[in-house]
Structure 1
Amino acid sequence: MASDTKDADPLEDCLLILESGEVYRNPTEVKMSQIVLPCHANHCGELSVGQLLKWMDSTACLSAERHAGCSCITASVDDIHFEHTIGVGQVVNIKAKVNRAFTSSMEVGILVTCEDLFTNCHWKVCHAFGTFVARRTEAGKVQLKQVIPHTQAEQMEYSIAAERRRMRLIHAEIITDLLSSSTAQLGECQEFQGAVPAERTQVESVELVLPPHANHQVSTFGGQIMAWMENVATIAASRLCNAHPTLRTIDMFHFRGPSHIGDRLVLKAIVNNSFKNSMEVGVCAEAYKGGEPLRHINSAFMTFEVLDSDRKPCTLPRIRPELVDGKRRYQEAIARKKIRLDRKYIFSCKQTEVPLSVPWDLSNQMYLSYNNVSALKLLAARNNWMLSSEKNKVSLYTLEENHVLCFKIETHVNVPAEQTFHLLSDLSKRHKWDKHYEQCDVINQADEEDTIYRVATPSVSKGGKGQDFILLASRRKPCDIGDPYLIALRSVTLPTHPPTEDYTRGEVLCAGFTIWAESSTVTKISYYNQATPGVLPYISTDIAGLSSSFCSTFSSCKQYLEENRDSLAALHPSAL
């Protein structure tokens, strides 16, 4: 199960030596190490996921409270994928730190690794992000201090935290839209001869919240609620397969309200659907006290597998949905599986894979947009750019990383940042300053922030064919003071726009603008791109220092922006 190579640690960065000579350590960082004892394990001798969730929640909460300086509560935990199980006698190492603070909430990154003391092997178990909210004090609502990133890794997490927060805030809306668009295509349920009735997997359990289940704020410990939910979900999964299931993924935990000592927690679980090698279990937690009505505390969807002696997934029995709401849950489970596969495919695409583009449709729009913006933020957060040339106050930087050549062009304009953002957002106007944008047409106005364009570029060689690109443009306004405006670009594929004989189809993996307000009238523009095969012919002479077309292009860009600095009213609404 373990290898002696250690997984990349997204919470770990190179040591930073301060001017005082001390080694920098993030002030919010909290570490917990626990040896797995038999009392922490399940019947298979592996660490119970419920116990692990408790340890993760405790560590992350301590990190949040270290930053806030007051009590904090768990608001949500993002999707978790468990890569490995952990055995008795092994050591669990949990590291948590605050990535970014907003008004009264903060994102905490949580990394779980495992250590075998006898072989000195380390491996990654899971990586998650929790959101914690600072509790009101006697003085009123807490205004959290900002996190100041010191290392490149901290800067990356800080930057992407804003995009992850955006995704959390619209999570319910995304799921609703995706389910409504997906379930319409699922059709009627198939025949279920020989399938296991879903009612057989149904579990309902009641827990009385006692003082040992409460946290230091006298509310039910969030990790304890998640552990109880995992317990009933495991029982439901076991009833379908008559075997010991292994939990692989958990969809987001979202706490909708608190519970307290003396509450009765009603935990319900049922298998919504089973696929060839996995099953989805829906689980919810509700609370009541005395004759009060039930209060919805939390809900989640957990995906289980059953592994054989070689640790390979077994084929699972089919499920027959129950009569009342079973068909709806059955179809929604299919839609959620599609969402997970789409998201996994989008997030796992590498620069070395061809094609670079991924298919775009309504079911993956939000995740493609998130990935598009996050990729640009990661590229912008790199701190080892090298200046290649500078002319007329336009600077060209390069960066070679993982065998990919990246470049950045930077300049300043005497135009307010918001106006610069609006003018550069509309790619159909880019031909006015960029000769490479011979033609640009809007294919799909997905929403206010995402537009798909077809861009045609001229041939770089005499008599050759031009290139065209199908580009997703994702726009973002600043999440907070000190954040830039962003215009992220990447290639996508659309069945309605296949490659044609007249053009060679080019691809862009990660490109776009960051727009920083340096004052009310001065803006710094940084343009990023990666030298993919479709882009390289247009930039090779500049990178080699044989031409300065970038300089002239961005001088034209400055002129265009300054000439149109007062033309906001004339812009197309989609650019706003």
Structure 2
Amino acid sequence: MTAEEKDAGISMEPLFIQESGEVYRNPTEVQMSQIVMPCHANHCEELSVGQLLKWMDSTACLSAERHAGCSCITASVDDIHFEHTIGVGKVVNIIAKVNRAFTSSMEVGILVTCEDLYTGRQWNVCHAFATFVARRTEAGKVQLQQVIPRTQLEQMEYSLAAERRRMRLIHAEVITDLLSSSTAQLGECQEYQDSVPAERTRVESVELVLPPHANHQVSTFGGQIMAWMENVATIAASRLCNAHPTLRIIDMFHFRAPSHIGDRLVLKAIVNNAFKHSMEVGVCAEAYQGREPLRHINSAFMTFEVLDRDRKPCTLPRLRPEPVDGRRRYQEAIARKKIRLDRKYIISCKQTEVPLSVPWDPSNQMYLSYNNVSALKLTDTRNNWVLISEKNKVRLYTFEENHTLCIKVEMFVSVPAEQSFHLLSDLRRRKEWDRHYEECEVINQVDEDDAIYRVVTPSVSKGGKGKDFILLASRRKPCDPRDPYLIALRSVTLPTHPPTEDYTRAEVLCAGFTIWEESSAVTKFTYYNQATPGVLPYLSTDIAGLSSSFYSTFSACSRFLEANKDSQAALPPSSS
């Protein structure tokens, strides 16, 4: 990787040389390169986001169809964050490849970079994850072949794809629940004398779906629908500020129904709320033919900024919402902004920052849980572990990266994987085998898969204070037989449980268990921990070879699992 590529944040995977001596290339990978011509640009001589969405959708669809061997349709596109705009004359490079296939759907990863032909410099523009569904054939529903990851990066994306899929499936429900609880707490919107009536920003446009708008399956091209939606959203945003806005974020696109040649697509947009430097525009697409009722095709929320000559965000006018529905959209936009800020904080939080934990509340529950599980999966897919020692069939590995020491403990137990998962999921039982868990209580049973615990550990020095941790435990069952059972742990901050004088508040960045089913009776059990300052004193003597307490602890864990392998008490934790 060159210094310029590193500064630009471009991810370059090392070459993978196959046994034949050839350089490996993912069989589903599709690349598209386009030079930005004036016909692709807006008034600022920058690439229209609508045109970019078309190119992204086309590239991803070709990748999906290369894997499926049949026609595929766009089901959804996850949130997209545009880091940079692209000027006329620049080259847009798009790479798409299938990360994982499920029964009839698959996740396609999309990376967009920009290239300056004169300097050779490249930089990231955005990345996205799209879900495609294989269309039914005359033989019936398509059963997709599984993706076989070959490199560490492919293994990482394969593993995370299962967690992203889980988020998509619960996304609408979580957002609905959150908004219904949040809007009641946001209060009434304030009236401002110089505010712009929301009605002034309303846009409605109709498009007739013609053959050039259709894809090779004679359905309306998903990228075209997204481009039309971006167009009306931009007009709505322009009417608020009397300027040309720049699109920064698109919330998830979800295609609810197909559209075909001859359909009339009605596109509607309105500014929901204006903040100091950004505004949210709600946009939807509906279709009809003749006198039939409108069919809901798609909807999204888009966040715009207005940039000055120095590319700095300008202050925007206030918005005066319409009564009833307008006020509801105004308040929901505030809640969605809070979600975006929480998500950005969680995702961008550096491992070297203190505190390591982030605040937990219902608005960031979904993303914090995802981040918790993803961190453990990323650790699990690493291949640079060094075996330090082995005692009593317990193996201890370490690796160091960015001044952070990570440990891995691996062993096999003669207990079914599902039973091991249930026994280890309830952290209250961990003190039965781990002497470092002096006390453990559930302080918030978030849902079936996530719980927050308070854990107390003894002092590592004579006469010193013990430590306490506030831990989010996220459990996951396998998405299919090639996934492990997983229990991820990380510290969170709860206002109801601040630090006390009796204990030193310590933090866990990433820890947990992966549980692999080797056979119906044998399970591979792996424990991970990123040794933060609060945890390192408990581990250092073992890693240095000066103590065997670590092995004693996990031997005790093995005995605990085997003694309880037929126990009916192995149930998910519940708050008492």
What is the CA-CA distance between 1:362 and the residue it aligns to? 1.3
In structure 1, the residue matched to 2:109 is: 109
In structure 1, the residue matched to 2:389 is: 389
In structure 2, the residue matched to 1:282 is: 282
Cα distance in 2 for residues equivalent to 1:4 and 1:395: 41
TM-score, normalization by structure 2? 0.98
What is the CA-CA distance between 1:192 and the residue it aligns to? 2.6
Alignment of 1:323-472 (within 5 A): 323-472=323-472
SS for the counterpart of 1:272 is strand
Distance 1:306 1:572, change over 3 A: closer
Cα distance in 2 for residues equivalent to 1:113 and 1:285: 29
CA contact (8 A) 2:511 2:529 kept: yes
Alignment of 1:10-29 (within 5 A): 10=11, 12-29=12-29
Deviations 1:217-253 (A, max 9, x none): 0000000000000000000000000001000000000
Structure 1 residue 232 and structure 2 residue 225: aligned?
no
Cα distance in 1 for residues equivalent to 2:568 and 2:548: 31
SS for the counterpart of 1:574 is coil
What is the CA-CA distance between 1:191 and the residue it aligns to? 1.6
SS for the counterpart of 2:33 is strand
What is the CA-CA distance between 1:488 and the residue it aligns to? 0.2
What is the CA-CA distance between 1:348 and the residue it aligns to? 0.9
What is the CA-CA distance between 1:174 and the residue it aligns to? 1.1
Deviations 1:349-374 (A, max 9, x none): 11110000001111111111111001
What is the CA-CA distance between 1:5 and the residue it aligns to? 3.4
- The answer for unaligned runs of 5 or more in structure 1 is none
Cα distance in 1 for residues equivalent to 2:556 and 2:69: 50
SS for the counterpart of 2:164 is helix
Cα distance in 2 for residues equivalent to 1:555 and 1:508: 23
Structure 1 residue 195 and structure 2 residue 195: aligned?
yes
Alignment of 1:185-334 (within 5 A): 185-334=185-334
What is the CA-CA distance between 1:545 and the residue it aligns to? 1.3
Letter in 1 for 2:266: V
What is the CA-CA distance between 1:572 and the residue it aligns to? 5.9
Distance 1:272 1:446, change over 3 A: same
What is the CA-CA distance between 1:68 and the residue it aligns to? 0.3
User: Which stretch of structure 1 is more off in the superposition, 14-23 or 250-259?
Assistant: 14-23
Alignment of 1:535-574 (within 5 A): 535-569=535-569, 571=571, 574=574
Deviations 1:292-322 (A, max 9, x none): 1000000000000000000000000000001
What is the CA-CA distance between 1:55 and the residue it aligns to? 0.1
What is the CA-CA distance between 1:548 and the residue it aligns to? 1.4
Distance 1:178 1:155, change over 3 A: same
In structure 2, the residue matched to 1:149 is: 149
Cα distance in 1 for residues equivalent to 2:543 and 2:151: 28
Cα distance in 2 for residues equivalent to 1:156 and 1:9: 17
What is the CA-CA distance between 1:568 and the residue it aligns to? 2.5
SS for the counterpart of 1:568 is coil
Cα distance in 2 for residues equivalent to 1:202 and 1:571: 53
Alignment of 1:39-188 (within 5 A): 39-188=39-188
Cα distance in 2 for residues equivalent to 1:280 and 1:170: 23
CA contact (8 A) 1:417 1:517 kept: yes
CA contact (8 A) 1:408 1:528 kept: yes
Cα distance in 1 for residues equivalent to 2:573 and 2:48: 53
Cα distance in 2 for residues equivalent to 1:541 and 1:223: 57
CA contact (8 A) 1:74 1:132 kept: yes
What is the CA-CA distance between 1:4 and the residue it aligns to? 3.2
Letter in 2 for 1:404: T
Distance 1:232 1:565, change over 3 A: same
Cα distance in 2 for residues equivalent to 1:561 and 1:151: 34
Cα distance in 2 for residues equivalent to 1:234 and 1:572: 48
Distance 1:323 1:571, change over 3 A: closer
CA contact (8 A) 2:422 2:572 kept: no
In structure 1, the residue matched to 2:479 is: 479
Letter in 1 for 2:559: Q
What is the CA-CA distance between 1:201 and the residue it aligns to? 0.4
CA RMSD for the aligned pairs?
1.1
What is the CA-CA distance between 1:119 and the residue it aligns to? 1.3
In structure 2, the residue matched to 1:493 is: 493
CA contact (8 A) 1:422 1:568 kept: no
Deviations 1:382-426 (A, max 9, x none): 011010010000000001112211000000000000000000001
User: Which stretch of structure 1 is more off in the superposition, 362-371 or 418-427?
Assistant: 362-371
What is the CA-CA distance between 1:324 and the residue it aligns to? 4.5
Cα distance in 2 for residues equivalent to 1:470 and 1:323: 43
CA contact (8 A) 2:73 2:135 kept: yes
What is the CA-CA distance between 1:9 and the residue it aligns to? 4.0
Letter in 1 for 2:201: T
CA contact (8 A) 1:181 1:363 kept: no
TM-score, normalization by structure 1? 0.98
Distance 1:572 1:231, change over 3 A: closer
Letter in 2 for 1:183: T
User: Identity percentage over the alignment?
Assistant: 85
Deviations 1:509-560 (A, max 9, x none): 0000000000000000000001100000000011111111111000000000
Distance 1:83 1:571, change over 3 A: closer
Distance 1:561 1:52, change over 3 A: same
CA contact (8 A) 1:209 1:220 kept: yes
Letter in 2 for 1:516: W
Letter in 2 for 1:151: T
Cα distance in 2 for residues equivalent to 1:43 and 1:312: 18
Cα distance in 2 for residues equivalent to 1:477 and 1:498: 32
Letter in 1 for 2:182: S
Cα distance in 2 for residues equivalent to 1:568 and 1:280: 51
Cα distance in 2 for residues equivalent to 1:310 and 1:553: 59
Letter in 1 for 2:82: F
User: Which stretch of structure 1 is more off in the superposition, 510-519 or 344-353?
Assistant: 344-353
In structure 1, the residue matched to 2:4 is: 4
SS for the counterpart of 2:574 is helix
- The answer for unaligned runs of 5 or more in structure 2 is none
Letter in 2 for 1:200: R
Deviations 1:56-82 (A, max 9, x none): 000000000000000000000000000
SS for the counterpart of 2:526 is strand
Number of aligned residue pairs: 572
Cα distance in 1 for residues equivalent to 2:400 and 2:48: 43
Letter in 1 for 2:202: Q
Letter in 2 for 1:515: I
Cα distance in 2 for residues equivalent to 1:321 and 1:497: 39
